Amino acid sequence: MPEAPMSSTPMPALAQRLKEVSFSASAAMTGKARELKAAGHNVISLAIGEPDFETPPHAIEAAYKAALAGDTKYPPQDGTKALKEAVQRKFKRDNNLDYALDEILITNGGKQAIMDALLATCDPGDEVLIPAPYWVSYAEMAKLATATPTFVNCPQNNGFKLRPEDLDAAITPKTKWLLLNFPSNPTGAACSREEMKAIAQVMLKHPHVWIMTDDMYEHLIYDGFEFCTIADVEPALKNRVLTVNGASKSYAMTGWRVGFCGGPKPLIKAMVNMQSQLTSGVNTISQAAVTAALDGPQDLLAERAAIYRDRRDLVVAMLNEAPGIICHKPEGAFYVYPNIAGCLGKTSAGGRKIETDTDFAMALLEEKHVAAVQGAAYGMSPYLRISYAADTESLRDACGRIQDFCRSLT
């Protein structure tokens, strides 16, 4: 039977907005690592921020029981009452924040909480102020919400933290949101209470700006550092703060896709409207699991944080032994953000000229089969983002390969 002729009709056009939105660099690097691994190479990926721990057994058991009990129908748009009550208790217990149930929203991961908020508030011409380095999705989500991402530099000599004077200078009449993320992805930097208070004092001067705080790495802090969130540090700001969190990082529940947030009732109502049109509510089985995680034993948080701290110390020490690399020791999260300026202008053993951090990351993957993400993706070069959410032996092996790679540069 002859093949049907190819249609000469051109494909309809895609949306113009896609021209402004970049594909996630961390996802792209992870994809390349998987391709090499599938081809038989011994690849170690330090490119993705995913805990290597298991979901707590009591959370899995709660999901199983919910499924057996028939809790498989459409969920409420804003979340089940049981999970919202657990989130309410969590905010009070961990953050000294009181939110009514109609000030809490359950979302499909923390990312949807951010997107819901931006869609509910931003108009063309509005600016979303993002400290840099920043998580790759923040700027792209602002663009999708028709806003303009603007950046304020957080230099390494200030521990990658936001300086109040820089923040104040960056705010304009068009600024709609300040987006905070401490402990930070990609740097691991965290703010002390005094440092957060200084940021809050600036924001008190600018009442037209909403404040969003992405606290996803709240429980991953080290060396006695104490986490704080801005609505607790300065209660006078609470009526324009959205406090975003989730189960993915602390409880190793990335695949369950549950985030949550607390904020003023009018904002939450508008976000529920956005979510109802985009995805509706979060699946009921995952909500049952996260309810159990938030209300269950919390000892595992400190136990896992201690393991991450030891991994951080190993990675920082080994990277600082690599010629041309200087690695700052962060206060939290599970990332380091080493400066690779001393490696630029050289040539790898495989013949690649290392002019940028993107060149470095690609050569490292191709020649040593270690995946990391270039700092350019996070708004500050020349750096790499390295995740140490991997087992200790893999980290030791990967850092040894990085040392060998750097020693081979000429």
The predicted pLDDT at position 7 comes to 58
pLDDT at 23 exceeding the cut of 80? no
pLDDT band at 1 (very low <50, low <70, confident <90, very high): low
Q: What percent of the chain has pLDDT over 90?
A: 90
Would 16-53+300-408 and 62-295 be classified into the same CATH topology?
A: no
- Burial profile 156-186: b = 16 or more Cβ within 10 angstroms, e = fewer: beebbbbbeeebeebbeeebbbbbbbbbbbb
The predicted pLDDT at position 4 comes to 57
Alpha-carbon gap, residue 367 to 406, rounded angstroms: 11
The predicted pLDDT at position 28 comes to 78
The predicted pLDDT at position 361 comes to 96
pLDDT band at 19 (very low <50, low <70, confident <90, very high): confident
Average pLDDT over residues 62-69: 98
- pTM, entire model: 0.94
Angle between helices 109-121 and 265-278 in degrees, nearest 10: 110
- DSSP H or E run through 249: none
pLDDT at 6 exceeding the cut of 60? no
The predicted pLDDT at position 18 comes to 81
List the chain domain ranges: 16-53+300-408, 62-295
The predicted pLDDT at position 158 comes to 96
pLDDT band at 17 (very low <50, low <70, confident <90, very high): confident
Q: Is the dihedral of CA 37, 43, 46, 47 positive or negative?
A: negative
The answer to whether the beta carbons of residues 216 and 186 sit under 8 Å apart is no
Amino acid letter, 313: D
Of 88, 105, 94, 133, nearest to 279 by C-alpha is 105
Of 66, 83, 65, nearest to 295 by C-alpha is 83
Average pLDDT over residues 54-68: 98
Residues 6+ apart with CB under 8 A from 12: none
pLDDT at 51 exceeding the cut of 70? yes
Return left, alpha or beta for 140; rule: phi > 0 is left, psi -120 to 50 is alpha, else beta.
alpha
Q: Which of the pair, 22 or 110, is modelled with greater confidence? A: 110
Q: What percent of the chain has pLDDT over 70?
A: 98
Where does 16-53+300-408 sit in CATH, by number? Answer: 3.90.1150.10
- The predicted-structure confidence for 320-365, as pLDDT tens digits, reads as follows 999 999 999 999 999 999 999 999 999 999 999 999 999 999 999 9
Average pLDDT over residues 71-93: 97
Average pLDDT over residues 29-45: 86
**What would the two tokens of residue 138 be?**
């923040």
**Residue 359 CA to chain centroid, in angstroms?**
24
Other beta carbons less than 10 A from residue 358's beta carbon: 18
Chain mean pLDDT for the chain: 95
Alpha-carbon gap, residue 404 to 394, rounded angstroms: 15
Q: Is the dihedral of CA 290, 292, 296, 299 positive or negative?
A: negative
- What's the chain's Rg over C-alpha atoms? 22
Tell me how far CA of residue 308 lies from CA of 26, 78, 95, 298, 316, in angstroms.
20, 33, 22, 16, 12
**What would the two tokens of residue 363 be?**
């050569």
pLDDT band at 230 (very low <50, low <70, confident <90, very high): very high
The predicted pLDDT at position 3 comes to 59
The answer to whether the beta carbons of residues 298 and 378 sit under 8 Å apart is no
Where does 62-295 sit in CATH, by number? Answer: 3.40.640.10
- The predicted-structure confidence for 264-301, as pLDDT tens digits, reads as follows 999 999 999 999 999 999 999 999 999 999 999 999 99
The predicted pLDDT at position 35 comes to 86
Other beta carbons less than 10 A from residue 151's beta carbon: 17
Amino acid letter, 39: A
The answer to whether the beta carbons of residues 229 and 90 sit under 8 Å apart is no
**DSSP string spanning 217-247?**
TTT-B-TT-----HHHH-GGGGGGEEEEEES
pLDDT at 394 exceeding the cut of 90? yes
Average pLDDT over residues 131-140: 96
- DSSP H or E run through 171: none
- The predicted-structure confidence for 87-128, as pLDDT tens digits, reads as follows 999 999 999 999 999 999 999 999 999 999 999 999 999 999
Q: Which of the pair, 229 or 15, is modelled with greater confidence? A: 229
Tell me, what DSSP letter sits at residue 3?
A: P
pLDDT band at 26 (very low <50, low <70, confident <90, very high): confident
The predicted pLDDT at position 403 comes to 98
The predicted pLDDT at position 382 comes to 98
Angle at 200 between CA 198 and CA 204, to 5 degrees: 120
Tell me how far CA of residue 359 lies from CA of 31, 164, 225, 282, 387, in angstroms.
17, 34, 35, 40, 19
Q: Beta strands of 48-182 (E only): which ranges?
A: 104-107, 127-132, 148-153, 175-180
pLDDT band at 198 (very low <50, low <70, confident <90, very high): very high
The predicted pLDDT at position 31 comes to 81
